[in-house]
């Protein structure tokens, strides 16, 4: 995967739970050869962070209500804590990375009319 994703990782206090999820998330990105930068924040800071238009995907262990009206995909981080459903979330992240890569090519005129 060539696309570099900017990932926002959120939890209630921006420390313990997101740190655990982040370690698992980084491992999953490495295993799937995904390039990414990660930013950790508290969920109450999530909506404001999304206004920057800097993030490609959000992983939250503390709910998803903070991002109403955002076009950024928001995925549950709980599978990165429990392991249950982790592969499904990774598959969604790969799909997001592929879409972002195609969008980047389209914006640069590299897709030769294909999407």
Q: What is the pLDDT of residues 14-23, one digit of tens each?
A: 778 888 888 9
| Beta strands in the chain, from DSSP E residues, in sequence order | 4-11, 35-42, 57-60, 74-76
The partner residues of 46 in beta bridges, in order of sequence, read none
What does the pLDDT read at residue 4?
87
Mean pLDDT for 40-51 is: 90
11 in helix, strand or coil?
strand
pLDDT tens digits, residue range 55-100?
Answer: 999 999 988 887 777 889 999 999 999 999 999 999 999 999 888 7
The domains located in the chain, with CATH, are 4-108 (3.40.50.2300)
Q: How far apart are CA 35 and CA 47, in angstroms?
A: 24
Q: How far apart are CA 50 and CA 72, in angstroms?
A: 8
Report field, pTM of the whole predicted structure over 0.85: no
Burial, 115: exposed, middle or buried (Cβ in 10 Å; 0-12, 13-18, 19+)? exposed
């Amino acid at each position: 995967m060539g696309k570099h994703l900017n990932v926002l990782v959120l939890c209630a206090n921006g420390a313990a739970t997101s740190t655990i999820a982040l370690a698992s998330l980084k491992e999953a990105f490495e295993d799937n050869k995904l390039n990414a930068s990660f930013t950790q924040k508290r969920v109450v800071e999530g909506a404001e962070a999304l206004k920057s238009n800097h993030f490609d995907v959000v992983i939250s262990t503390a709910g998803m209500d903070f991002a109403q009206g955002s076009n950024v995909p928001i995925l549950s981080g709980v599978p990165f804590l429990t392991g249950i459903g982790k592969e499904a979330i990774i598959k969604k992240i790969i799909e997001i990375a592929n879409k972002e890569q195609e969008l980047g090519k389209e914006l640069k005129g590299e897709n030769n009319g294909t999407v």
